[in-house]
Structure 1
Amino acid sequence: MFARAELLIDGFLLTVQLTVLTGVIGLTLGLGCAIIRTYGPPHGRLAVATYVEIFRNTPFLVQLFLIFFGIPEVGKTFGMRWLPSPYVAGLAALSVNIGAYATEIIRAGLQSVHHSQIEAAESLGLTRWQVIRYVVLPPALRNVYPALSSEFVLLMLGTSVVSVISVEELTGTANLIQSETYRTFETYALIWVIYFALALVLKWMLDAVAMRFIGRRKPPRTIAGAVHA
């Protein structure tokens, strides 16, 4: 099994890559959708709410199959012959899935900011975007950071599901190795240890970020201080 260590390394690196890319894309998507659902126009709120409810209340595996197998079939109906690669389909499915969960987490943070803070900022002549950026977002993200960091750990573990469409990340690599060596227990036990270690390292890194940028940062004393921070 250790003779195929290069495959394990490639699978490990692909797992890390998927986690980082989908984390960034999902957080960006979730942040934008949370702002729209909280402060956007009615039709925008309805669109975001529909997206969130669909992806939070259906199995991720079904979403993955729908993107990988379903979209090409729909495309053929309109004369489009586009077939996403397993990697692209996995990346897209993970991103929109984590984006839906991040939307609700961040929205809870936005709603946790007292309305008096917003009114005080508006009385200073700040625009709606300045209020959101300087007054609402910093405390909102601090409030929900623990929930977001836990979601990112779950995201890393969830990358194992994309192995079912032949993405050779860590679990996909393990499936390949055990099919060649027939050493099922040893292979998956090793993968279990790697996932566990990776989750601990990711949690430690996220905690370090919290201590560096959140735990040691004192909130501004005034609204004006928040704007100029």
Structure 2
Amino acid sequence: MNYQFDFESVLSYWPMFLEGAGTTLQMSFWATLIGFVLGVLCAVARSSGPAWLRKLVGGYVEVIRNTPLLVQSYFLIFGMSSIGLRMPIMVGAILALVINIGAYTCEIVRAGIESIHRGQLEAAECLGLTPTQVYLHIILRPAIERVYPSLTSQYVLLMLVTSILSAVGANELFGVSNSVQANTFRNFEVFIVLWVVYLALSALVRAVFWLVGQCVFVRRRKLGTAL
């Protein structure tokens, strides 16, 4: 094997890699934030909403979880534009991520909601808590606390799958790497750099979620429970 490594020519494009990493984190941030809200609302609707709403949310979850993200993004960006509903590629890419992660968040949070013991609800009612207080403090918050590690893993995965959206023109980290490969013809070195950068981004995202968990879930912090 006589392959000569040349990282210097690849690393000279570090501003492009930095910009791509920033775009990846920006997409992940907005998709995580909006997708979390959407997922929680869907979980609440599917757990305690009227029958028609439970069926509607159930249909949304099944459709999204059983179709590829790439197909969903193509439909939103290119399919919708064919009928006159155009949107910027970044907006369409983030919307596709939101719709996708919302379905997975729904099922994760719903599992947490269903894990709450009936006795806790009865105790809360005996204490005179209002239905809103019961749902927020006895059901929803403990449910999210229980499934927080699963949510963290899902959102780290979300950050990684943003690479798929380079196929629709999103100029995130993987999309930038395609340009670097075309300019340098150093594919092997580019993929090694990508590997390192994605590992660093994953560690960063996990650290952020750990800090959020430490701030939000005080009880688990005092108990020393892993987040």
Is the TM value for this pair above 0.5?
A: yes
**What is the CA deviation profile of residues 48-92 of structure 1, one whole-angstrom value per residue up to 9, with x for unaligned ones?**
10000110111111111111111222xx3xxxx231211111100
**What is the CA deviation profile of residues 110-132 of structure 1, one whole-angstrom value per residue up to 9, with x for unaligned ones?**
11111121123234443332211
| Paired letter, 1:96 | I
Q: Give the aligned CA root-mean-square deviation in angstroms.
A: 1.5
Structure 2 unaligned residues grouped into runs of 5+: 1-9
| Paired letter, 1:65 | Y
Specify the alignment match of 2:106 in structure 1.
Answer: 103
Query: Is 1:7–2:43 an aligned residue pair?
Result: no
Specify the alignment match of 1:166 in structure 2.
Answer: 169
In structure 1, distance between residues paired with 2:71 and 2:16: 28
How far off is 1:29 after superposition? Answer: 0.3
How far off is 1:177 after superposition? Answer: 1.0
| Paired letter, 1:6 | P
SS at match of 1:216: helix
**How many residues are paired up?**
212
In structure 2, distance between residues paired with 1:110 and 1:217: 23
In structure 2, distance between residues paired with 1:189 and 1:3: 15
In structure 1, distance between residues paired with 2:81 and 2:124: 48
Structure 1 unaligned residues grouped into runs of 5+: 219-229
In structure 2, distance between residues paired with 1:123 and 1:47: 34
| Paired letter, 1:51 | Y
Runs of 4+ aligned structure 1 residues displaced above 4 Å come to none
In structure 2, distance between residues paired with 1:25 and 1:34: 14
TM-score of the aligned structures, taking structure 2 as reference length: 0.88
| Paired letter, 1:22 | A
Specify the alignment match of 1:91 in structure 2.
Answer: 94
In structure 2, distance between residues paired with 1:95 and 1:173: 22
Query: Is 1:40–2:49 an aligned residue pair?
Result: yes
